[in-house]
Amino acid sequence: MQIALVGIGKIAVDQHVPSIAASPDWELAATVSRHGTVEGVAAYTQLSEMLDAHPEIRVVSLCVPPVPRFALAAEAIRAGRHVMLEKPPGATLSECHTLEALARQHRVTLYASWHSREAAMVPAAKAWLADKKLTRFTVTWKEDVRRWHPGQAWIWQPGGLGVFDPGINALSIVTEILPDPIHLTAATLEVPENCQAPIGAQLAFAHPTAQVDMVFDWRQTGDQTWEIEAETTQGTLKLLDGGARLQIDGSEQGEDADALKGEYPRLYANLARLVARGEIDMDLAPMRHVADAFTLGHRSLTEPFHE
């Protein structure tokens, strides 16, 4: 199937383009971007031009930042195209609800993708936790913003989410692997004096049986930490490296062959399946937790951030 990619920035070049190139399902047939292009692929700067010029391209994948995403997604859906959204699926929860209603109305596929849910050992972690009684659950997501988001000024603006941009990846895994629902009860957001979005966050959640805490931090130099630890009455699970590795009681669990594929190739395999079935996959739970943190969080100002 032919697909168009909208927003040729860092994440498109690093992940989307190679994943589409390696996929048996997809052919990259056009790009839309103010500046970016992909060699050998028809390039447009306006979505409307691409949609008009290529009625044969039935699927559009959006990797622009969240704030401009709604208008582009709505335009593609109104033009009868299936749409995949990078995470988070929008700048607001309300626009995601509107978009889902629009996709139902136009009978097209809409896929709110969460790439971290496709990390290699997430399914195994979910399966292991399914019948365990949780007593303590800790998420530690600490990375260096300068290393992962060079020059991305929008992440510090309203709607850019700050440290919740990676934090929502953790939340997308958590909401996938935990059998019981959680909800935020308290949060502290550390916001640099010269920014609108937090650089650090500490979150406490209610859960039927466990104490649940999360720490997100964008000031981590040296080793980067993306870990989830689940203590249960029948042992302890650790998801390491953002879900790529799994330990049960300290013992490393093997990967299966499919796990080697990588997150974005699996997203595009999911997209092919959703389009074939005419389905919508728009799980907003990770984004709801982020909105809850912005609503309920206690803000403290911290030292200015300069890239």
Q: Which residues are catalytic?
A: 87
The residue to which tokens 């510090």 are assigned: 156
Residue 159 binding a copy of itself, by CB under 8 A: yes
> Counting contacts by CB under 8 A, is residue 92 touching a copy of itself?
yes
User: Does residue 161 touch a copy of itself according to CB under 8 A?
Assistant: yes
The count of other CB atoms within 10 Å of the CB of residue 306 is 7
Q: Does 202 bind a copy of itself (CB under 8 A)?
A: no
> Toward a copy of itself, which CB reaches closer, 17 or 83?
83
Dihedrals φ, ψ of 19, to 5°?
Answer: -65, -40
Using the rule CB under 8 A, give the single segment among 43-51, 237-245, 249-257, 294-302 that binds a copy of itself. Answer: 294-302
In this complex, which beta carbon is closest to a copy of itself, that of residue 147 or of residue 299?
299
**96-135 footprint of a copy of itself as x/- string (CB under 8 A):** -xx--x----------------------------------
AA identity, residue 60: V
How many degrees, rounded to 5, is the angle at CA 199 between CA 226 and CA 136? 40
Does position 294 bind a copy of itself by CB under 8 A? yes
Tell me the three state secondary structure of residue 102. helix
List all residues 6 or more positions away from 267 whose beta carbon is below 8 Å from its beta carbon: 19, 84, 113, 115, 118
Taking CB under 8 A as the rule, does residue 278 contact a copy of itself? no
Least distance (Å) from a copy of itself to the CB of residue 157? 8
Give the C-alpha separation, 4 to 242, whole Å. 28
Query: Helices 285-296 & 93-106, crossing angle to 10 degrees?
Result: 160
Positions that interact with a copy of itself (CB under 8 A): 70-71, 91-95, 97-98, 101, 158-159, 161, 181-187, 196, 206, 285, 288-292, 294-299
